[in-house]
Amino acid sequence: MPSDLQQEATELLQQLVRFDTVNPPGNERAAQEHLAAYLTAAGFECELLGAVPERPNLVARLRGSGDGPTLCYLGHVDTVLANPQEWTHGPWSGDVSDGYLWGRGALDMKSQVAAEIAAAASLARGGWRPARGELLIVAVVDEETGGALGAEWITTTHPDRVRCDLLLNEGGGAVFEYGGRRRYGVCCAEKGVFRFTLTTDGVAAHASQPKMGDNALLKMAPLLAALGARQPSYELTAEPAAFLRGLGHDADDPQGAVAQMGQVDPRLVTMFEPMLGVTLTPTRISASEKINVIPSRAELKVDCRVPPGLGQPEVRRAIAEVLGENGFRIDFNEQVIGNRSPIDTSLMDSISRWIGEQDPGAETVPVILPGFTDSRHFREAFPDCVAYGFFPQRHQSLFETSPLVHSANERIDVRDLGFAAAFFEQLARELLG
């Protein structure tokens, strides 16, 4: 029989999925009011704070009796869109079938919100209060479009309401196997964004005379081929080096490590290779505005992701390595440095200890998220805060989970809701007394 905590998390997730919070437009208020009432009934102090009335952020606090750290469980309640015609079960059904709970947000990330809040509410209803510090629940809006109304807004407009020392958010936790061992990734860092426009120049002419002008678009062909053929050389920072050591590899030989991972399971390379350095991905190209004009200029948009600790000099070096240095111009459109938290902390120790107890023989390994989450806003606002992405999933592996995020038929094994909720409950007890 499922535990009471698993059942509570499952029912709460069903309720959350049934709120259509596709962003845009979001319209998260009804879901947030539901969660506020749920936590208030359990004994939390709750408030809704928003830049606009229909999109409030929830801050819920359970105070302790003594001084100590503030432990924050963070999550977002908005989701990406969904096309019901592509789904086996409706994206807002919350159906439980074949051992899975189906719906948009079942993985990203209403599941973690439900597990965090079910654990916190169960503790509070049972009379538990922190012996030191306080437990903070923050459910934000607008993550899927950058957090301008959510985490970014609340950390800059109301920092004292959400200030915390320890934070758990999305970004890691699904199990994967390697070398006969089960591993759970703990997201300690997120890559930065250095998007740029690559421009080639030529001479315009009438398209009926192909050799009359100098076609800037054709000059893109070898550049696209080069981008398709390879990525820049690896440039290991602290987190991927620790990751490779955690898998039993020599961090001084990342190429050998990647080759061995590919022999074991090519999906490992797809999943983890982007952590090892700068990545360059062409996404949009434009040239002539008229079909009968040879373009004098062509522009290629490149999505560039950069590990924390690296910046524009490393990006320019990577571009030169892959594309050379002549025949094009580079203009940076967006530059956001990657963010990170220390690897060796008491929070990491607590996570690793719990995993070892609940899944004997399993280990945690630090990972970098190739994208980014709301953790970056908290790390920026509170530099001393240790923020990790961790939502433990033992039954639904990383390779099963990842393809479902933002896709049709998003679903979660309900046993993992109980697994994760038990973690959040025990972590609060251990860290706050």
Residue 136, φ and ψ in degrees, nearest 5: -120, 130
Which of 84, 96, 86 minimizes the C-alpha distance to 411?
Answer: 96
Pick the CATH number of 191-336 from 3.30.70.1290, 3.30.930.10, 3.40.50.620, 3.30.70.360: 3.30.70.360
pLDDT for 5 beyond 90? yes
pLDDT for 1 beyond 60? no
> Which CATH superfamily, name and number, covers 4-175+339-432?
Zn peptidases (3.40.630.10)
pLDDT value at residue 286: 98
User: Percent of the chain at pLDDT above 70?
Assistant: 100
pLDDT one-digit tens code per residue, 289-305: 999 999 999 999 999 99
pLDDT one-digit tens code per residue, 335-385: 999 999 999 999 999 999 999 999 999 999 999 999 999 999 999 999 999
* 42 three-state secondary structure: helix
The structure's pTM equals: 0.95
Burial 185-200 (b: 16+ CB within 10 A, else e): bbbbbbbbbbbbbbbb
119 contacts 428 by C-beta, under 8 angstroms:
yes
pLDDT value at residue 230: 97
- How far apart CA 200 and CA 197 sit, in angstroms, is 10
Q: List beta partners, residue 57.
A: 49
- How far apart CA 390 and CA 187 sit, in angstroms, is 7
Average pLDDT, the chain: 97
pLDDT for 107 beyond 70? yes
Give the length of the chain: 433
- How far apart CA 156 and CA 151 sit, in angstroms, is 8
The rounded Cα 230 to chain-centroid distance in angstroms is: 25
12 contacts 118 by C-beta, under 8 angstroms:
yes
- How far apart CA 115 and CA 428 sit, in angstroms, is 13
pLDDT for 89 beyond 80? yes
Mean pLDDT of 50-65: 97
- How far apart CA 66 and CA 129 sit, in angstroms, is 10
- How far apart CA 170 and CA 175 sit, in angstroms, is 14
Which tokens sit at 322? 């892959």
The rounded Cα 165 to chain-centroid distance in angstroms is: 20
Burial 217-245 (b: 16+ CB within 10 A, else e): bebbeebeeebeeebbebbbbbbbbbbbe
**Residue 233 DSSP label:** P
pLDDT value at residue 84: 97
pLDDT value at residue 7: 98
pLDDT value at residue 351: 98
3 pLDDT band, cuts 50/70/90, is confident
Which tokens sit at 394? 């033992």
Residue type, 227: L
Mean pLDDT of 182-194: 98
Residue 139, φ and ψ in degrees, nearest 5: -115, 115
Which of 144, 245, 186, 188 minimizes the C-alpha distance to 393?
Answer: 186
pLDDT for 2 beyond 80? no
User: Percent of the chain at pLDDT above 90?
Assistant: 99
What are the extents of the domains in the chain?
4-175+339-432, 191-336
**Residue 190 DSSP label:** E
